[in-house]
């Protein structure tokens, strides 16, 4: 799998007063970092993937990644998605010959449907984040960052279920323990902050945000184990996420989806204060141009 670019942003660097870089995970064939974990998991299945086929539950990016990876090894892939999944993400799953099944609106709805189908069709379940193989795959983002920028002092990662920040934290802290790792999540889905306060993952009653990829009701148990005591969590508003999404598209020419723009939002809103070289992970770019226009209109962004 090819390394993704690490690109310096002059505007963000000037704002922060230190070098700021964007880690562009949106350039993967499936449009997001999820490809790393899905490929690692499915490759480690060996012949079982093609023999049985695989299934997952996803708001979109992990589903596309599983479909892509399964297609590479000749396996059937079923992806259970929310009824309101963005069309661009549904089409992305189908592009790689994935079979789409819709189920409810929450991650729990998708999980229940996927488990039932897995039992019925004897499919192998590929979890979206809470599994060592998935975390190991996502950790390659952190390895690439430190190898490309040895003096990095802060890495900011979006947080949904926690697979990305778990892998990044393990890799970055293992290579350069002094580097700060910060999780960025929507105010309406602050699952990591709640878990850090409680000392254990806590299930929220509901989550809501324009960042549709960051809406699990809880961080994972395995992912939380990898980050507890090692990271801080900060929150950004939907208005800040929307502004960063539009700004990245127009000023940096980076097609980031709202989930992928969360880290940029944190810096632009002054919620991150790096003391040295900083990397903002742009986790995905599966967003239609009309969605970006809609965000600009809704939040009054010129």
pLDDT per position as a tens digit, 277-288: 999 999 999 999
Residue 22 backbone phi and psi in degrees, to 5: -105, 125
Q: What is the DSSP letter of 187?
A: G
On the 0-12 / 13-18 / 19+ scale of CB atoms within 10 A, 6 is: middle
Residues of the chain where predicted confidence (pLDDT) is lower than 50: none
How much is the pTM? Answer: 0.95
What whole-number distance in Å separates Cα of residue 182 and Cα of residue 177?
Answer: 13
Domains, the chain = 6-32+131-298 (3.40.50.1100), 34-125 (3.40.50.1100)
What pLDDT is recorded for position 108?
Answer: 86
What pLDDT is recorded for position 107?
Answer: 82
Q: In what order do the strands lie in the sheet with 20-24?
A: 6-8, 20-24, 278-282, 154-158, 180-186, 231-236
pLDDT per position as a tens digit, 75-128: 999 999 999 898 999 999 999 999 999 999 888 899 999 999 999 999 999 999
The radius of gyration computed from the CA coordinates of the chain, to the nearest angstrom, equals: 18
With CA atoms as reference, report the closest residue to 159 among 296, 33, 8, 5: 33
What whole-number distance in Å separates Cα of residue 28 and Cα of residue 82?
Answer: 23
């Amino acid at each position: 799998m090819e390394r993704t670019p690490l690109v310096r942003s002059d505007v963000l660097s000037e704002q922060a007063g230190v070098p700021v870089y964007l880690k562009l995970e949106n350039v993967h064939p499936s449009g997001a970092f999820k490809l790393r974990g899905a490929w690692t998991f499915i490759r480690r299945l060996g012949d079982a993937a093609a023999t049985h086929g695989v299934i997952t539950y996803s708001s979109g990016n992990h589903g596309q990644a599983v479909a892509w990876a399964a297609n590479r090894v000749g396996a059937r892939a079923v992806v259970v998605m929310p009824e309101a999944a963005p069309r661009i993400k549904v089409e992305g799953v189908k592009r790689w010959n994935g079979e789409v099944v819709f189920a409810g609106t929450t991650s729990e709805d998708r999980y229940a449907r996927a488990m039932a189908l897995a039992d019925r069709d004897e499919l192998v379940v590929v979890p979206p984040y809470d599994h060592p193989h998935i975390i190991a795959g996502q950790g390659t983002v952190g390895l690439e960052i430190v190898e490309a920028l040895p003096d990095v002092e802060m890495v900011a990662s979006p947080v949904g279920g926690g697979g990305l920040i778990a892998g990044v934290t393990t890799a970055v802290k293992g290579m350069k323990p002094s580097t700060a790792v910060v999780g960025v999540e929507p105010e309406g889905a602050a699952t990591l902050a709640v878990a850090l306060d409680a000392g254990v993952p806590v299930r929220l009653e509901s989550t809501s945000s324009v960042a549709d990829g960051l809406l699990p009701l809880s961080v994972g148990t395995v992912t939380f184990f990898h980050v507890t005591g090692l990271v801080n969590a900060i929150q950004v508003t939907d208005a800040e996420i929307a502004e960063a999404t539009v700004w990245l598209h127009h000023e940096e020419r980076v097609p980031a989806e709202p989930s992928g723009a969360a880290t940029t939002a944190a810096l632009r809103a002054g919620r991150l204060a790096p003391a040295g070289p900083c990397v903002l992970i742009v986790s995905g770019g599966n967003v239609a141009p009309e969605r970006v226009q809609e965000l600009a209109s809704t939040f009054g962004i010129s």
